[in-house]
Amino acid sequence: MGTRDQILDAAAEIMRNRGVVEATTKEIAKTAGYSEAALYKHFSDKEDLILNVLRHRMPGPAVPRPEPGSATIEANLAALARAALAFYQQSLPLLGGLLAQPKRMAAHRDSMRRHGAGPGHGIAGIAAYLRGEQQLGRLGPEADVETAAALLDGTCFHQAFLRFYEEGPDATAAPDEFADSLARTLVHGLG
């Protein structure tokens, strides 16, 4: 395992246990067994490190978007829902502290925009998939793909929040049946 991977592993562990706000680059580098200068050879700033932890140490975003026309729309949406549920359940403890610190949240938001990332990208990806299905004629032109994408993503986020609220950071995962039911309901609503 290389330096970059060791730093990502250390960052993910510290962020899971104490959240993003409390994780300093100095502490992450020390835990990984490197200097802070070594950390900055691999990551431009703390936000770049956070983004890489989210992309490479959390489930969900690494799952490729389904190809329009592949499988059924319901099966594809269920797979997206499972990935979103897993991602949000893992990432909530990391990012929760940002909500309590508006200045830190603003800096994080600006950095995520610079890196072409942030919470809206999940919804945009789901909507793009659904638009592809519309273009193939598997969804009618009247289907509101933006709203459907927001409903899927928002429901997954809320479900992860409820599980975290009730059970803490080690909450049980949402059952596959939940993702299946969500997908079935959305497909029915899309016509």
> Is 183 part of a structural domain of the chain?
yes
Nearest to 91 by CA among 154, 147, 12: 12
Q: What is the pLDDT along the chain (191 residues), one digit of tens a residue?
A: 799 999 999 988 888 777 777 788 999 999 999 999 998 999 988 888 888 887 787 755 445 689 999 999 999 999 999 999 988 888 887 777 777 888 888 888 888 788 777 778 889 999 999 999 999 999 999 999 999 999 999 999 999 999 989 998 788 989 999 999 999 999 999 98
Q: Do 137 and 113 reside in the same domain of the chain?
A: yes
Structural tokens at position 138: 């598997």
Q: Do 149 and 118 reside in the same domain of the chain?
A: yes
Structural tokens at position 132: 């592809």
User: The domain that contains 66 carries what CATH number?
Assistant: 1.10.357.10
Q: Do 86 and 142 reside in the same domain of the chain?
A: yes
- Determine the Cα–Cα distance for residues 63 and 51; give it in Å rounded to an integer: 16
Instruction: Note whether 18 and 30 are within 8 A (CB).
Output: no
> Is 91 part of a structural domain of the chain?
yes
Q: Do 92 and 183 reside in the same domain of the chain?
A: yes
Q: Do 38 and 63 reside in the same domain of the chain?
A: no
- Determine the Cα–Cα distance for residues 91 and 176; give it in Å rounded to an integer: 19
For the residues of 115-142, what is the DSSP string, one character each? TT-STHHHHHHHHHHHHHHHHTTSS-TT
Instruction: Note whether 83 and 69 are within 8 A (CB).
Output: no
Nearest to 76 by CA among 159, 183, 155: 183
Looking at residue 175, its pLDDT comes to 94
Q: Do 132 and 82 reside in the same domain of the chain?
A: yes
Instruction: Note whether 110 and 118 are within 8 A (CB).
Output: no
Number of domains in the chain: 2
User: The domain that contains 16 carries what CATH number?
Assistant: 1.10.10.60
Provide the domain limits for residue 28.
3-43
> Is 51 part of a structural domain of the chain?
no
Q: Do 15 and 68 reside in the same domain of the chain?
A: no
Structural tokens at position 21: 């706000």
Q: Do 178 and 146 reside in the same domain of the chain?
A: yes
